């Protein structure tokens, strides 16, 4: 393990075809073995985690970090359930996306295959290690992982357990590698050519840093600046409930709303009703001048729009049309998730067409934008990029495709000089 990361990554790349060529049975059998081994090793896993926790407390880690660091029986059961779900899911590899006869005895087939080598960099949560290792194994991708140093002992025993169980089923040992030194992150970011995709999981600053410092494609989202637009034809009672759910049900997550846009024709009814329904729950409202004329609020600065508060704060702005709302969202949002609340289906369709975000909601909470709630099963992450995978990403996001062409000595010369013609026929 003393080799540099570039050499390790090049090696993994070279051997990644072995995992790619494994059968569904082999990969599922390995996942079964991983599941059993994790359960069998649970006492030592919990013990190692306790050491990480004790050291974390000594080092004064914050409560939310300690909460994420904790790996107990309930977290273990949850990741084992996840692996069980993955085993049951149909094979994402070798699916035929297109089959076409190009000419007699010359056929084109487009089939799904693994992306290859995935670099995974995550903070704190050891359950992420298990989850991502399982997703990569199911989809035939080799994973090169770097976890947070505060979870080092937990990560190490989880890694060893998974590694040994899968290798014991004949999976190529290059399928999973754990990096432990912080300095290796920068080395990892320079492995373009060996690593095909990076998946960072952690704070906005952390993800932004990764995105800024690598030439490898990154799947993820730095920020979730989500909006709820309350149209003039909104059902007030429903709108209040959806706004409160979007904003307050869980404030730190990326699909929570940050900004509420309200149509000028409904603001004087909606905003006081929102305050009333809020009751004694805390919510700091930062409003523009028009909002301040209706309800008490902190004056909003330009910066309050386009900020992910991830807190009990909302910026509020009055707009005069669905078009203005959409333009505001496209300018200040992060392309993650935005909602319109209206009984006017034309306004909803306009909003759907104009808002350039991965998920666009009509009469429901932004918080539904999530792989589990979309029924994708295991979630790889949420992408705010527009290429490859967008929005909540399931197992499919870890696959690409290749074209296989089968001929019988076909050459292009006769097609070029007009002696032969293609006769395309989908099979």
Q: Which one, of 386, 413, 388, 409, lies nearest residue 106 by Cα?
A: 409
3-state DSSP assignment of residue 96: strand
Q: How far is the CB of 279 from a second copy (least distance, A)?
A: 15
Q: How far is the CB of 209 from a second copy (least distance, A)?
A: 14
**Quick check: 116 binds a second copy (CB under 8 A)?**
yes
Pairing of the two strands 96-103 and 425-426: antiparallel
Candidates 65, 151, 326, 347; binder of a second copy (CB under 8 A) is: 326
Positions in 349-378 near a second copy (CB under 8 A): 352-365, 367-369, 373-375
Opening angle at CA 357, ends 351 and 359, nearest 5: 85
**Nearer to a second copy (CB atom), residue 186 or residue 352:** 352
* Three-class secondary structure assignment of 252-293: CCCCCEEEEEEECCCHHHHHHHHHHHHCCCCCEEEECHHHHC
Q: How far is the CB of 260 from a second copy (least distance, A)?
A: 15
**Nearer to a second copy (CB atom), residue 89 or residue 354:** 354
Q: How far is the CB of 385 from a second copy (least distance, A)?
A: 8
Candidates 6, 29, 42, 100; binder of a second copy (CB under 8 A) is: 100
**Quick check: 306 binds a second copy (CB under 8 A)?**
no
**Nearer to a second copy (CB atom), residue 77 or residue 406:** 406
Q: Which stretch binds a second copy (CB under 8 A): 53-61, 169-177, 287-295, 379-387?
A: 379-387
Candidates 6, 20, 173, 344; binder of a second copy (CB under 8 A) is: 20
Q: Which one, of 374, 385, 340, lies nearest residue 198 by Cα?
A: 385
State the DSSP H helix or E strand holding residue 240, giving kind and residue range, or none if neither: helix 236-248
Positions in 238-277 near a second copy (CB under 8 A): 238, 241-242, 244-246, 249-250
3-state DSSP assignment of residue 124: coil
**Quick check: 197 binds a second copy (CB under 8 A)?**
yes
Q: How far apart are CA 13 and CA 117, in angstroms?
A: 6
- Rounded (10°) CA dihedral 189, 191, 192, 198: -50
3-state DSSP assignment of residue 50: helix
Q: How far is the CB of 218 from a second copy (least distance, A)?
A: 10
**Quick check: 56 binds a second copy (CB under 8 A)?**
no
**Quick check: 391 binds a second copy (CB under 8 A)?**
yes
Axis-axis angle for helices 236-248, 267-278 (nearest 10): 50
């Amino acid at each position: 393990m003393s080799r540099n990361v570039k050499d390790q990554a090049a090696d993994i790349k070279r051997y990644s075809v072995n995992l790619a060529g494994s059968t569904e049975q082999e990969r599922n059998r390995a996942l079964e073995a991983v599941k059993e081994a994790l359960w069998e090793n649970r006492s030592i896993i919990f013990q190692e985690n306790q050491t990480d926790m004790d050291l974390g407390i000594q080092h004064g880690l914050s409560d939310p970090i300690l909460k994420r660091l904790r790996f107990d029986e309930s977290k273990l059961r949850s990741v084992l359930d996840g692996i069980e779900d993955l085993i049951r899911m149909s094979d994402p590899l070798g699916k035929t996306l297109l089959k076409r006869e190009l000419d007699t005895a010359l056929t084109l087939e487009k089939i799904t295959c693994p992306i290859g080598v995935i670099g995974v960099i995550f903070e704190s949560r050891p359950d992420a290690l298990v989850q991502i290792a399982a997703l990569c194994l199911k989809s035939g991708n080799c994973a090169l992982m770097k976890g947070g140093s505060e979870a080092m002992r937990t990560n190490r025993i989880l890694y060893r357990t998974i590694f040994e169980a899968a290798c014991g089923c004949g999976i190529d040992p290059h399928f999973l590698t754990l990096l432990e030194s912080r300095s290796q992150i920068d080395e990892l970011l320079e492995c373009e050519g060996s690593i095909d995709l990076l998946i960072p999981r952690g704070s906005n600053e952390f993800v932004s840093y990764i995105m800024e410092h690598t030439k490898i494609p990154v799947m993820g989202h730095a920020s979730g600046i989500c909006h709820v637009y309350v149209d003039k034809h909104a059902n007030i009672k429903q709108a209040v409930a959806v706004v409160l759910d979007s904003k307050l049900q869980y404030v730190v997550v990326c699909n929570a709303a940050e900004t509420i846009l309200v149509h000028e024709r409904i603001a004087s009814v909606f905003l006081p009703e929102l305050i009333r329904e809020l009751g004694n729950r805390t919510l700091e409202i930062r409003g523009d001048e028009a909002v301040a004329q209706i309800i008490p609020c902190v004056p909003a600065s330009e910066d309050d729009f386009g900020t992910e508060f991830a807190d009990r704060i909302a910026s509020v702005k009055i707009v005069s049309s669905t078009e203005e709302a959409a333009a505001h969202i496209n300018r200040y949002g992060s392309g993650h998730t935005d909602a319109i609340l209206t009984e006017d289906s034309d306004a909803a369709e306009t909003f759907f067409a104009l808002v350039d975000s991965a998920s666009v909601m009509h009469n429901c909470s932004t918080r539904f934008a999530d792989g589990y709630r979309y029924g994708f099963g295991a979630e790889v992450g949420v992408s705010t990029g527009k290429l490859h995978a967008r929005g909540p990403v399931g197992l499919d996001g870890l696959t690409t495709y290749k074209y296989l062409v089968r001929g019988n000595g076909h050459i292009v010369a006769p097609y070029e000089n007009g002696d032969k013609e293609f006769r395309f026929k989908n099979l």
